[in-house]
Structure 1
Amino acid sequence: MTHNRSADVPQPMGAAADLRLPRPPGVFRRFWARHPHVVDGLLAGFYALPTLIFTLIDGIGGFGVSDFGASAPGWYAYHLLVATALTAAIYLRRRFPFSGIVVAWIAILIPVNGYEVFDILAVFILLYSLPLFRPVYLAWIGYGGLVLANFISGWMGPSDPLNPSNALSAAFVFVIVVLVGINIGNRRRYVAAIIDRAAQLARERDQQAQIAAIEERARIAREMHDIVAHSLSVMIALADGAAAAVSKNTGAAQKAMESSAETGRGALAEMRRLLGVLSTDGDETAESMERVPMPGAENIVALVETFRAAGLVVRYSVEGVPTGDKGQQLTVYRVAQESLTNALRYAGVGATVDLAVQFGSESTRVVVIDDGRGTPVNGNEGSGRGLAGIRQRLAIFGGSVDAAAYGRGWRLDAVIPLTATPPSKENES
């Protein structure tokens, strides 16, 4: 039989310990709730003491409390056994409530006349306890067994055992006890379910917070990769160009070094912002991210100029109006940034790159094609994570990317649907 400890209100633990449930009213009620065995012991003693005392006195002294008198010592021994069983059933009513109601059936089915006043108290306690600690259907089974046993034995009317009116009266009293037990038991089960649900929600809240923190750090890692890869590629190209032009064109070399320094300062500022987010906890992290503007579609022009200064021949075209979703605009910017970085790294300085961004009504498309005819940047082989990062970004929006060789160069085609929104806070930044 499945145990249902619904009456014992679960105590929240671990992640759910901060539920701050209201304190139950009443000093005595809280005491009984904390010490259930004391309650069961008092109930068992309330029945057992007078019952056992009168049974022993009547059996030894023959005072005639029962209808059998002193000439029937076997009945006294039987009732002493039944009273002991009922006492144990009351004390163990939380663990074995249905076994207790079986003992009550026996006590009613084979009664000892004269002790009904004592035994009926035990029957009421056991019948009331059954729906408190077990499913309701078992309570009705226990009720039906008591009514049947009472009708057979005529326990409520010893002078006329099979009088239907006595059986109906007993059935009416029993049903009141059952209904009271069901009402209180259902209320306890309902409260226990609410507390359990609250604890579950608290655990899910903490788990979601941990997942959000992991996702945020993964996003920051992608941002860091884009910043470092882009900035270092541009700075290396500019430094190489400045070194080659320093002896022939001092002005061009100076301009290249200034552009390299500006790129480095911008990358350093972005890295400080991201590292500052990593060292901040709680809501302050989200607030700091929201206060810092993220690059969007309007920043692609400045991005293109940076790569042109680094030596790429970039032909940029744009169609349509950018979506208002800042998260998708950031993704478009990062796709363009990673593609141009790869073109500079592999196609090299002097390569021609066509960058086309199309903002449609259903999707945004970014197409980047390079001819592969430049001079690759030395010492910048790459880690192979750029394209994987693009795929992860597009997957957030349900997008796709197709990248493959195109003649001597490379072609990337990324599509971002406008129907999906990212689960992160990038679109709020």
Structure 2
Amino acid sequence: MSRLDDVPARLRALGSRAPWLIDVALIAGIVLLSLRGPHDSHVLPGAMWSLILALPLLARRRWPVPTFAAIATIAFGQWLADVRAFGDCALLVAFYTVAVTQPIRTTVLAALVLEVGVVLAALRWGGEDTELNAFVALSAFATAAGVMGVNVRNRRALLASLEERAVRLERERDQQGQLAAGAERARIAREMHDIVAHNLSVMIALADGAAYAVRDAPDRAQDAMQRASRTGRQALNEMRRLLGVLREDTAAQDLSPQPGLDAIDTLVEQVRGTGLPVRYEVSGTPSEAIPAGLQLAVYRIVQEALTNTLKHAGPDAGAQVTLTFGAHDVGVEIVDDGGPASAVAAADEGGGLRGMRERAAVYDGMVASGPRPDGAGWRTATTLTFAGRPSPTIAAHA
């Protein structure tokens, strides 16, 4: 039973690989059946007409309308010669092909031509008592061929549209995946830049301080080196946590939270440990609903600005960090008094400034970064917006 079920599938596969074999088998079947079908006193005329009627079917897939027209013309010649032949069924095959491949208008015109042939055949070969029956039967065959062809055409159009939609959805899915991967790479690049640049700057400042103090104040040099060691370990842990996002075994990842507003105190103390005086002030009415992403953006902006101060402001510079909370926004301002030289150097920091702008843009913020109006240092400021509820005021930190 399973072998019989496989026959239609095998025939379809054979038809897709070598469709001409199907047409040859169809022509052979028509000719063979014509030998047993209705004919005149001699078998040969009917078989010859059947062969002539069926041969154009070899071109039906490439030229369906000309093939139908050729067979209709031959059938009319057969009618004029008054020869009955089973090969007239080739008209039904040609009409089916027209219905499958051509628009409705062409199919209707072919149906009218076929119906004229049905009327002529019924009048000549139907007999006085059977003309109506012959007309109904032949019309039913023609209608069945047309309906089958239209149904097959509609099904093929549906399958083609579904395939096109599947291809389009797959292409859109790939594009979305590429966009998501690009956004994730940009996010990781920003995090890497902030972590590496800040911690390395702190470690360099501490190492320079230890080098200067190693002879005159060995205790201070030892303390500076210990701070540099702790900073390096902290940077290594942050790098491991960040790179763990790229691993497949997420169960083994460190799920420590990202730094937020509470971590700015530790950040400021870390920078102060390098010898850079930093004032930290918080004012306004913060909200309990400040999102973690916005807190991380504030932390990274402060971190990047202080890193630039460490790298470019000079040994006698100082900095001030101010956070101002509104009902639905957080203002961030970092200023230093490093002088014009630091401003020129900081202006060249394209990667860090670009990262700050990208983080601020997520929360409708624009980073203003440039020399102070008096030329004595650098100022970085932005305002990040959100929606939340107000909570008690946070006291200022010195």
1:108 touches 1:146 (CA, 8 Å); kept in 2? no
1:276-295 correspondence runs (5 A): 276-278=244-246, 280=247, 284=248, 291-295=255-259
Letter in 1 for 2:70: V
**Residue aligning to 2:262:** 298
Would the alpha carbon gap of residues 396 and 168 (structure 1) be closer, same or farther in structure 2, given more than 3 Å must change?
A: farther
**Residue aligning to 1:32:** 11
1:105 equivalent to 2:76? Answer no
1:271 to 239, 245, 264: 239
Letter in 2 for 1:295: P
Please state how far the C-alpha of 1:79 moved relative to its aligned partner. 6.8
2:280 to 296, 316, 319: 316
**Residue aligning to 2:396:** none
Would the alpha carbon gap of residues 374 and 293 (structure 1) be closer, same or farther in structure 2, given more than 3 Å must change?
A: farther
Alignment RMSD (CA, Å): 3.9
Letter in 1 for 2:12: A
**Residue aligning to 2:87:** 118
Q: Alignment length, in residue pairs? A: 369
1:328-407 correspondence runs (5 A): 328-372=294-338, 384-406=350-372, 407=374
Counting aligned pairs with the same residue, the percent is 35
TM-score by length of 1: 0.71
2:99 touches 2:146 (CA, 8 Å); kept in 1? yes
Please state how far the C-alpha of 1:333 moved relative to its aligned partner. 1.7
Would the alpha carbon gap of residues 275 and 65 (structure 1) be closer, same or farther in structure 2, given more than 3 Å must change?
A: same
1:234 touches 1:263 (CA, 8 Å); kept in 2? yes
Please state how far the C-alpha of 1:317 moved relative to its aligned partner. 2.9
Gaps of 5+ in 1: 1-24, 420-429
1:42 equivalent to 2:21? Answer no
Gaps of 5+ in 2: 388-398
Letter in 1 for 2:336: D
**Residue aligning to 2:123:** 157
1:399 touches 1:416 (CA, 8 Å); kept in 2? yes
Please state how far the C-alpha of 1:108 moved relative to its aligned partner. 4.7
2:152 to 184, 187, 196: 184
1:84 to 43, 51, 55: 55
Would the alpha carbon gap of residues 83 and 382 (structure 1) be closer, same or farther in structure 2, given more than 3 Å must change?
A: closer
Letter in 2 for 1:46: G
Please state how far the C-alpha of 1:230 moved relative to its aligned partner. 0.3
1:238 touches 1:256 (CA, 8 Å); kept in 2? yes
Letter in 1 for 2:257: P
Please state how far the C-alpha of 1:266 moved relative to its aligned partner. 0.9
1:349 touches 1:374 (CA, 8 Å); kept in 2? no
* Cα deviation digits, residues 297-349 of structure 1 (max 9, x gap): 33222112111222232222334126553333322221111111112222234
Q: Distance in 2 between matches of 1:290 and 1:137?
A: 69
Please state how far the C-alpha of 1:405 moved relative to its aligned partner. 1.1
1:312 touches 1:344 (CA, 8 Å); kept in 2? yes
* Cα deviation digits, residues 79-132 of structure 1 (max 9, x gap): 7544322x324xx43x3333333334334544434435431x222222223343
Q: Distance in 2 between matches of 1:324 and 1:177?
A: 70
TM-score by length of 2: 0.76
1:256 equivalent to 2:235? Answer no
